[in-house]
Amino acid sequence: MKKSDINNRKSMGLKKPGVIIPAPVALIDMPKGYESFLKNLKERIISERLKTLLSANAAMIMLYWEIGKSILSRQQSEGWGAKVIDRLSHDLKTAFPDMSGFSPRNLKYMRKFAQAWPDREIVQRTVAQIPWRSNLTLLDKLDDPQLRLWYAHKTLELGLGKDMLVFQIETKLHLREGSAVNNFKVALPPAESDMTSQVFKDPYIFDFLGTADPRREAELEQKLIDHIQKFLLELGLGFAFVGRQVHLEVGGSDFYIDLLFIILNFGAM
């Protein structure tokens, strides 16, 4: 990389041959319309990410419904008892060690889920669109199928997270708004809602997709960086914290430093 090329780049820090720490151009220098362009892109990215996760969530819940239905059918036709579920849990966890959804307790919930929602079309259209933990809340808190369906619709419409769903059930939202089930529009939950946040963090989905290990690795890295950052900040004067995942260009290649700080030399004072 030519020295003239480096000098023409906006960068921060010392300029050494072949090394650049790129800095973004100030917003004030961006062309007219850039901020609205960026806003639209961010909204689209959030929407597409949410659609992808909700699609994975629906596939997982339909699988849980099928498993529960199969268990229920066998128990009814062949008299299988609880010991079968315990053994099934062991065998499924052995076959899929990266998935946490096959505990005996969760398998029993799958059976209860299938029993509570015998109509596959209703499952696909409504309850498969909300997180598994929210479905468990509906099973635990409500016995009336129509009321359960109403709260499932409300969970999706209002973007209720599990805790808020519990609150609304316990404070009888259906009496305050009227509990008639109408033709709710099928739409994404609000982007800033508790349910959206819950879906993005749902360990069941990540385990189902087989992406739990990278996620846990990222969480571990985050905790380590938080610890190092706190330590550096406690050292006080003489250190400057630059940032995390700092982008460097070295010899035309991209690198990212997990944590970058510099030691300041104040000299004699």
For residue range 136-184, list pLDDT tens digits in order. Answer: 999 999 999 999 999 999 998 888 888 999 999 999 998 888 766 655 5
- Write down the residue that tokens 């819950």 correspond to: 198
Q: Cα separation of 147 and 137, whole Å?
A: 13
The mean pLDDT value of the chain amounts to 78
CB environment 165-185: b (16+ within 10 A), e (fewer)? beebbeeebbeeeebeeeeee
pLDDT at 78: 86
- pTM for the whole thing? 0.67
Q: Cα separation of 84 and 71, whole Å?
A: 9
For residue range 84-132, list pLDDT tens digits in order. Answer: 999 999 999 999 888 888 999 999 999 999 999 999 999 999 999 999 9
Tell whether the torsion through CA atoms of 63, 101, 208 and 78 is positive or negative.
negative
Find out whether 263 and 236 touch, Cβ atoms under 8 Å. Answer: no
